[in-house]
Chains A and B, each alone.
Chain A
Amino acid sequence: MAILVVCEQRQGELKETSLEAMAAAVSVAGGEKVHALLIGSGIEGLAQAVARGGADEVVIADSPELTCYTYDLYRAVVLKAVGDISPSVVIAGHTSQGMDFFPGLAASAGMPMLSDCVKLSRSGDGIEAARQLYGGKIEVRYALPVPCVLTVRQGAFSSVMAGKEAEVRKMQVDLGSASARTEVTGYETPPKEDVDIEKAKIVVSVGRGIEKKENLPVFEELVSSIDGAVLAASRPVIDNGWLPKGRQVGVSGKTVRPKLYLALGISGAIQHLSGMSGSEFVVAVNRDKDAPIFKVADIGVVEDIFKIVPALVNEMKKR
């Protein structure tokens, strides 16, 4: 038996989550060999980085047809690797690509699958996995038989640098009759912003709680009363077009690590938390006392932001 970690790279850059998935794999390996699969084109240079993450063997599937992710061709490769290695567990990151790929792979391989796991352990002959439901309000533990497919939440496992050597093997890529029903035609980066929220020391971030665009000046006034502060937002504010995409904090936006993060009317969906949990000090103001944002806050206030923010502006003006 063995564990198979499917790593993710895009345009030659290895995703950190792949190393976290590796750490998760090592934690449940219990003596089983950990194989890491790297898929792409011209990616041999990434093998050592993957090996340092704790793999016993790095398998490389390298072909020009695999340059960009397509569900069909990547599935053909992973199914082949699964056939070769017979893993008890297939592990990967719960990323955008992971969400697109692994549920279908599991269905195709006839394996049970759980996504976005935050804890994993061996339990008898199978695996016990925990994941969060209802926006992080409850946590459920599940039992799965092996073989199974698991994806792990970004940041839930800490990558390790195992200084060990790994064998590197090139896999024979024979895509045979497999053809891709989807085609990646390019990538688009968001337009450059006048304000760089990633560099700011103080980030004032607003969420759904601001209710409408017309209320933005209330928060802009707070930002201008604090030296070095910039205005950012969670996804709903960006989706509504109230602020530009470059101001978005979260998985599909930017990751910020300021000295002070002020979360106003943000409930704290995991997609948002993963973009700001590296902040040194977090203050959260929200009317819902059960909002997950309070779990990562250093100071919390359960109150209406439209009462607190004007009071804060007044207080800042007192000096």
Chain B
Amino acid sequence: MKIAVLAKAVPDVKNVRLTIKDNDIDTAELNFVINEQDSYALEEGLRLKEKLGGEVVVVSVGDEARRKGITQVIRECYAKGADRGTMLLDQDYSKWDGGVRAKVMAALLGPEKPDVVLMGSQSFDTATSRMGPMLGEAMGIAHVSLITALEAGGDGRTFAVSRDLEGGLQEKVRVSAPCIFTTQTGINTPRYAALSKIIMATRKEIKTMTLEDAGIDRAELEKLNRVRVVAAGFPEEKEGNALMLTGTPEEIAAQLVKSLREKGLLQR
């Protein structure tokens, strides 16, 4: 079976003071890493391959600034067991709206004719959760989002999945290939890559494509790009900002317990 996994390279903003540049965060000094949610999608794809045979193809889209990050992301996927990887780079990438990105992805994946397409249910950077369903429309195949369990029939054509609803409720859904799944964290425990495989992965080829290679008409794409960024900034601070306690851990603990007792929030 042919399994495609979307692996996005996203900036790592942990413990970083962000600055704004050109209506987005300034990523010049940031590292790009695999979108954490996509690593669960990859793991699910690898498990399908191990159970039913076939190959796992990783695809990632970005711009020149992300080339290094995407290369690392695809190598990480190789080290874990992915068979092939393709990246498409375009200078307009950061200006593309979700609908445009889905069209580009569909053009990339179309010739692959995947049986199953997997991706994380959202990406850490934009968190719109639009790609899965939009890609389904663009490719003309079914999608099920936010899945927490995936069980494939022996023929690899039918799937029984659970998806997250609110309040811990799970919806059980049946669907047939070809189809798209977006995965939730916790659906599995992503494997670690062995060091030897990480080293081997650096020698494996990554196919690099342009819009033209994928047969995409730039003018057609531009017509779909109808959402425009007006401005980016930091969210307004909530009124009544937190009282920040400082000092040694002992001083902080004493201050905190005293304060909570005074407010009657601790019973003793």
A contact set with B: CB distance below 8 Å: 10, 15, 69, 71-72, 95-97, 99-104, 106-108, 112-116, 128, 131-145, 181-190, 202, 226-228, 235-236, 238-240, 245-246, 248, 251-255, 259-260, 281, 283-284, 287-288, 290, 294-303, 307-308, 310-312, 314-316, 319
Taking the nearest CB of chain A, how far is it from the CB of B204, in angstroms? 30
Interface contact A96-B166, CB-CB below 8 Å: yes
Per-position binary interface string of chain B over residues 169-182, scored 1 when its CB falls under 8 Å from any chain A CB and 0 otherwise: 11111111001000
Interface contact A96-B146, CB-CB below 8 Å: yes
Q: State the CA gap A315–B243 with chains docked (Å).
A: 20
Contacting residues, chain B, for A295 (C-beta < 8 A): 235, 237-238, 242
B45-53, B55-63, B77-85, B223-231 - interface stretch: B223-231
Most buried by A among B125, B137, B163, B184: B137
Interface contact A140-B266, CB-CB below 8 Å: no
Contacting residues, chain B, for A252 (C-beta < 8 A): 164-168, 184
Contacting residues, chain B, for A245 (C-beta < 8 A): 168
Interface contact A138-B18, CB-CB below 8 Å: yes
| Interface residues of chain B: helix, strand, loop or mixed (majority) | mixed
Most buried by A among B121, B227, B233: B227
Interface contact A140-B226, CB-CB below 8 Å: no
Interface contact B142-A141, CB-CB below 8 Å: no
Contacting residues, chain A, for B162 (C-beta < 8 A): 188
- Asked if B129 CB lies within 8 Å of chain A CBs, one says yes
Interface contact A251-B249, CB-CB below 8 Å: no
Interface contact B234-A299, CB-CB below 8 Å: no
Q: State the CA gap A188–B250 with chains docked (Å).
A: 46
Q: State the CA gap A145–B129 with chains docked (Å).
A: 21
Q: A145-B226, A300-B245 are in contact. Are A187 and B171 (CB under 8 A)?
A: yes
Q: Which residue of chain A has the shortest Cβ distance to B136 in the bound complex? A: A104
Q: A133-B127, A189-B169 are in contact. Are A139 and B235 (CB under 8 A)?
A: yes
Interface contact A100-B143, CB-CB below 8 Å: yes
Interface contact B254-A315, CB-CB below 8 Å: yes
Interface contact A290-B253, CB-CB below 8 Å: no
Q: Could you tell me which residues of chain B, from 234 to 260, have a CB within 8 Å of some CB in chain A?
A: 234-238, 240, 242-246, 249-250, 252-254, 256-257, 259-260
Q: State the CA gap A112–B18 with chains docked (Å).
A: 29
Q: A103-B130, A181-B176 are in contact. Are A187 and B170 (CB under 8 A)?
A: yes
Interface contact B128-A114, CB-CB below 8 Å: yes
Q: State the CA gap A138–B25 with chains docked (Å).
A: 8
Per-position binary interface string of chain B over residues 4-17, scored 1 when its CB falls under 8 Å from any chain A CB and 0 otherwise: 00000001011101
Please, how many residues of chain B have a CB less than 8 angstroms from a CB on the other chain?
A: 88
Contacting residues, chain A, for B256 (C-beta < 8 A): 283, 299, 301, 312, 315
Taking the nearest CB of chain B, how far is it from the CB of A201, in angstroms? 8
With contacts A182-B173, A187-B165, A290-B18 known, what are 13 further pairs, Cβ within 8 A? Answer: A71-B136, A96-B146, A96-B165, A99-B129, A100-B133, A103-B98, A182-B142, A183-B174, A235-B186, A283-B260, A299-B242, A300-B244, A300-B245
Contacting residues, chain A, for B169 (C-beta < 8 A): 187-190
Interface contact A183-B226, CB-CB below 8 Å: no
- Among A99, A142, A240, A254, the residue within 8 A (CB) of B230 is A142
Q: How many A-B residue pairs have CB under 8 A?
A: 257
Contacting residues, chain A, for B13 (C-beta < 8 A): 134-135, 137
Interface contact B144-A134, CB-CB below 8 Å: no
- Among A72, A99, A137, A139, the residue within 8 A (CB) of B145 is A99
Taking the nearest CB of chain A, how far is it from the CB of B103, in angstroms? 9
Most buried by A among B160, B173, B268: B173
- Asked if B99 CB lies within 8 Å of chain A CBs, one says yes
Contacting residues, chain A, for B189 (C-beta < 8 A): 240
Contacting residues, chain B, for A298 (C-beta < 8 A): 240, 242-243
Q: A10-B165, A308-B252 are in contact. Are A107 and B257 (CB under 8 A)?
A: no
Taking the nearest CB of chain B, how far is it from the CB of A91, in angstroms? 16
Q: State the CA gap A252–B18 with chains docked (Å).
A: 29
- Asked if B108 CB lies within 8 Å of chain A CBs, one says no
Q: State the CA gap A137–B230 with chains docked (Å).
A: 17
Q: State the CA gap A248–B129 with chains docked (Å).
A: 22
Interface contact B242-A185, CB-CB below 8 Å: no
Q: A100-B145, A112-B99, A137-B234 are in contact. Are A300 and B172 (CB under 8 A)?
A: no
Interface contact A319-B244, CB-CB below 8 Å: no
Interface contact B230-A144, CB-CB below 8 Å: no
Interface contact A71-B133, CB-CB below 8 Å: yes
Q: State the CA gap A114–B97 with chains docked (Å).
A: 9
- Among A106, A188, A190, A248, the residue within 8 A (CB) of B99 is A106
Q: State the CA gap A290–B244 with chains docked (Å).
A: 12
Q: Which residue of chain B has the shortest Cβ distance to A16 in the bound complex? A: B166
